[in-house]
Structure 1
Amino acid sequence: MAAFNLTLFDPSIFILMGIPGSEAAHIWISIPFSMFYIISLFGNFTVLFVVGKEQTLHKPMYLLLCMLALTDISMSSSVMPKALCIFWFNLKGISVGGCLTQMFFLHAVSGMKSAILVIMAFDRYVAICNPLRYTTILTNARIAKLGLVGLIRAVLCILPLPLLLHRQPFCANRIIPHTYCEHIAVAKMSCGDITVNRMYGLVMAFVVIGLDVMLIALSYGLVIRAVLRISSKQAHQKALNTCTAHICVILTSYASFLFSNLTHRFGQGIASNMHIILANLYFLIPPMLNPIIYGIKTKELRDKLSKYICRM
């Protein structure tokens, strides 16, 4: 406790409070959080291992799946280790530089994940609407280039957030009522005018995510139009089944993102501890579910995984 009080007067340290109002339950809350995190790491590393070992899976679809797994690992790992340190060991201090770095990585990875979901929608569009040219349009090299473009976009869009905050004067109260350095939570500690910070963060969230959602909707609109032109019901079902896993991943990712962000900004009637729990679940639930969804819905991946399980 003495060390905690000393950090309150250290101008280079912020204090992450975890889940204010639920301190007595931190240990109990950490149990499902740590279980979700372990399952997420195990599932995503399993996907990376199986795809990496099997030459037959070195295809654009599985390269995208590996990119998704990497972003899921990065998302949960940018938040959970520090959150668990708060829950288990009461280690609440974080340097200003460390806080801004964490903020940059978790928001940049979220933007990168959104870009990957767009590329996956384009992959499904080409596979269904232009199957004969699929191998020439979507090569592994082209997928890698599209992934690089998504990464550059995420970095350029998110980098101003910590840079703008770095220039702000912070008040004596350096307590962040959160488990991680969320942009608005950090901005609220500033003694200066944070209008630009608020507006930039909100505009980037809606422009980047809004544009990506529109592109995904356009891709699936064209897919549905192509499917409706097919006379065979069996062909209908087969075509739509190839999109099921991706649609499930989109719903879990965007629904949790929008719900967490909108309740944090506009949900004044929701208790603050519920805001924080929901925000943490955004970094846990989709990364945990994504490898399960693809493992169940993708026969080729499921068969390869079964082969490795049978060898044990």
Structure 2
Amino acid sequence: MKEKLIAIRKKAIQFRKKIKLSLTQLYLTCFGVFVATFLFILISPIIFGGNYSYAEAKVNEHYPINNGVELALIKKEYNPEKQFMRLDFSIEKSNSNSNLSNIEYQISSQYIKDRKQLDVEVTKVNDNYVVAIIKGIPEGYSVLSTTIKPEYVHPELEKVDDLNDREVKIYVNENNKIENNELKIGTENQYQIEYISYQQKEIEQQIEESKKEISKNNLAIEEVNKTIKKLESEMSYQTESEKFTTQNDVNSNKTKIQQFEEKIDLANQNIDELNEKMNLLEDKKEAIN
């Protein structure tokens, strides 16, 4: 009987060892699969040129290049037939201390896949507009990394070289939305005309904003007039002291109307100036042509 118990105990111990070994193997297998999956996800963009880990550069997104100057990507188009991409940048300054004419732009571009440097043709159309033509980009480029490095032409003329080590890096993912088989490499005059068209679109947006401001203030005047009418109708049934308080409210609302009317006048003046600017830009276009 004793021998049977010992045998049963030995079998139980062996069974527990087998289970423990199986669980250990299962754990190691699962851990190995997890590590392999993680490594695959980590290196797959490098191997396959995946673009999901690179934030797409948005049109009209602004990037500061120093305390007084901002750069914005305003156009990105790709011609798959001619295998080149065009990136247009607008440069604006927020204070009078910045001298845009003393800034030049070094632009480099490469594939994320193999880091191959591409041929980039940079045209500084004027102080506010730069066009970059990136050549030799076949379909399947996946992600294009472009670095814009501003530099002073004459740093000795600046109090501080605040552009030293400054750069803006943007990514363009392969996307048929930016494809344009009609896209051509233009001349400096053609780029000038396109920049003027860009300015005109900006002005059109400003005009629309001013019109919205006028509509908003006209609506406000209508609502205030309703309030005044209601207050004045109640005065027939008020005591003298109540009338005094109500009249003050009426006068206060009339002051509000005057303020709204002043805002409308300013908006109309702004629209007139913007329309004049539009016409002058159109004349400038014709002069370039």
Give TM-score scaled by structure 2 length. 0.27
The higher relative CO (CA closer than 8 Å, separation ≥ 6) is in 1
The structure that has the greater radius of gyration is 2
Greater strand fraction, Structure 1 or Structure 2 = 2
